[in-house]
């Protein structure tokens, strides 16, 4: 089995975290985890292919934003809130608050009931 890379707390870099949090799909994933706790990758309702979702999960993991735990054939994602708050106090909460305040419908979907 392939061993997944997770940076140590001291090795989490601000630029990597900000890059990982700069994508709307990844922000949606992080928001879902923050709201609902640890989740399997296939539970996220995002309008991307499975391979693209895997790429987003890897980006978040390698930046130190999430921890990925293998359970059978599934990969469970959880936020590394404690590590992020130790390295960059308040950053995650600020980013998620701004995201929630400005949240738009998922990319590639239209608001219900709209017609031209």
Q: Answer whether residue 106 shows pLDDT above 60.
A: no
Q: What is the pLDDT of residues 18-51, one digit of tens each?
A: 999 999 999 999 999 999 999 998 888 888 988 9
Q: Answer whether residue 12 shows pLDDT above 60.
A: yes
CATH number 1.10.10.10 is the correct assignment for the domain at 9-101: yes
CA distance 50 to 86: 32
How far is the first Cα of the chain from the last one, in angstroms, to the nearest whole number?
51
For the chain, which residues make up each domain, given as ranges? 9-101
Tell me 38's DSSP state: S
Which of 65, 81, 31, 26 is closest to 48 using CA atoms? 26
CA distance 70 to 108: 30
Give the mean pLDDT of 99-115: 60
pTM (two decimals):
0.83
């Amino acid at each position: 089995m392939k061993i997944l890379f997770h940076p140590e707390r001291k090795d989490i870099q601000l630029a990597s975290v900000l890059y990982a949090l700069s994508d709307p799909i990844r922000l949606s994933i992080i928001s879902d985890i923050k709201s609902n706790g640890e989740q399997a990758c296939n539970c996220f309702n995002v309008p991307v292919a499975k391979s693209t979702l895997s790429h987003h999960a890897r980006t978040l993991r390698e930046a130190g934003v999430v921890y990925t735990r293998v359970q059978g054939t599934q990969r469970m994602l959880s936020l590394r809130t404690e590590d992020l708050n130790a390295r960059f106090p308040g950053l995650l909460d600020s980013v998620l608050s701004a995201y929630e305040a400005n949240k738009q419908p998922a990319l590639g979907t239209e608001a219900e009931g709209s017609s031209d």
